[in-house]
Structure 1
């Protein structure tokens, strides 16, 4: 990539982040469903078309980490260490994310969590992201294990692994809305995650070992 291309890419990323930041401020202040794309554009001092070019769906202005979220589990599996199973890699990555109180796994703060749960559109979009994440994980597991097209195993494994992450995400959201602090949630989720991943070990401990 040339210097000019690099500068252009950084400028686009800065614009994207600026639009998302201003949109989130409006959503938190007034509620997601009460804010229009035109109002976001005005707040960000850009054209309405610029907003839709970066965010074709209004929901993605609020859930701007959707692409990262969707690919998160698949990326962990692809990057796992030699001798490590998919389950072990995902357990390790999740516990690290809990320790860091990573917003991608749900540490969003009470105001943001309430904004999501108050909007049927955002709840639906978040459900789509969960479904897409499971499908991406299934594809990664199939590729990593060399599974045949008609082999259901990667999809079954992905359903279990992504399902645990979904349950844990919902647990973080519920505790956030209940007013628990980030440290309190992290402590509770460390225990919950250990229990959840342990429950998968009998069937998946030796699956997809690199």
Structure 2
């Protein structure tokens, strides 16, 4: 995945994303322009696009973190631990800390509602699913400890996590009890990845 230049540094990027998120939550994604975001953040429209390829990425600025996490899971897994099992453990760990990528973050709920109400953002998430699948496939292809079907394993890992995270987010937005949602999230992750690891143990 190509990365844009980081003019002004990561702090500027984070500031722009925070300002954008506030505006999106307040007014809705479609009703905020990139020029307005730049003005509110004290930077030019050009600077905004030097950090983010598209407007949707301003709202979904945590997506690159998912790629980094996926690569780290593969590279840093202990010897003797299969890729699928490593992702099961990582998914449980994200749930325990209520990481935004788990769908369990209470702080991320306003933005989650904004995303759920925007066709453009939902479309971007679906596009990203293919992007991270390709990234994970490449990572598995280059991993000397992995000998399975890289494309198939990557697709199943991404699909399993997406199904659980989306269901969790929907329950959170519906106002379900957090303790029950967390328990269900962990249980579904555990069952899904345990089943996959029996078929793809390497």
Range 20-29 or range 176-185, more displaced: 176-185
Matching residue of 2:183:
187
State which of 168, 171, 196 in structure 2 corresponds to 1:172. Answer: 168
Aligned match of 2:141: 142
- TM-score calculated relative to the size of structure 1: 0.85
* Structure 2 partner of 1:123: 122
Q: Secondary structure at 2:9's aligned position in 1?
A: helix
Q: Is the 8 A contact 2:7 2:50 kept in 1?
A: no
RMSD between aligned alpha carbons? 2.1
Q: How many residues align?
A: 195
What is the CA–CA distance in structure 2 between the aligned matches of 1:96 and 1:123, rounded to whole Å? 25
Distance 1:141 1:14 in 2: 32
Confirm or deny that 1:199 pairs with 2:195: yes
Conserved? CA contact 1:59–1:121, under 8 Å: yes
Tell me which of 9, 14, 25 is aligned to 2:11.
14
* Bigger CA radius of gyration: 1
Contact 2:88 2:194 in 1 (8 A): no
| CA apart distance, 1:146 | 7.3
Report Cα offsets for 1:17-46 as digits up to 9, x if no partner: 111111100000000010001110111111
1:143 and 1:61, CA in 2 relative to 1: closer, same or farther beyond 3 A? same
Tell whether 2:84 aligns with 1:87.
Answer: yes
Shift of 1:89: 0.9
Q: How does 1:32-43 map to 2 (within 5 A)?
A: 32-43=29-40
Distance 1:175 1:152 in 2: 35
CA contact (8 A) 2:112 2:169 kept: yes
Judging changes above 3 Å, is the alpha-carbon distance between structure 1 residues 57 and 181 closer, same or farther for their aligned structure 2 residues? farther
Matches within 5 A, 1:38-117: 38-108=35-105, 109-117=108-116
Unaligned runs of 5+ in 2: 1-5
> In 1, are the aligned partners of 2:7 and 2:47 still within 8 Å (CA)?
no
Matches within 5 A, 1:147-162: 153-162=149-158
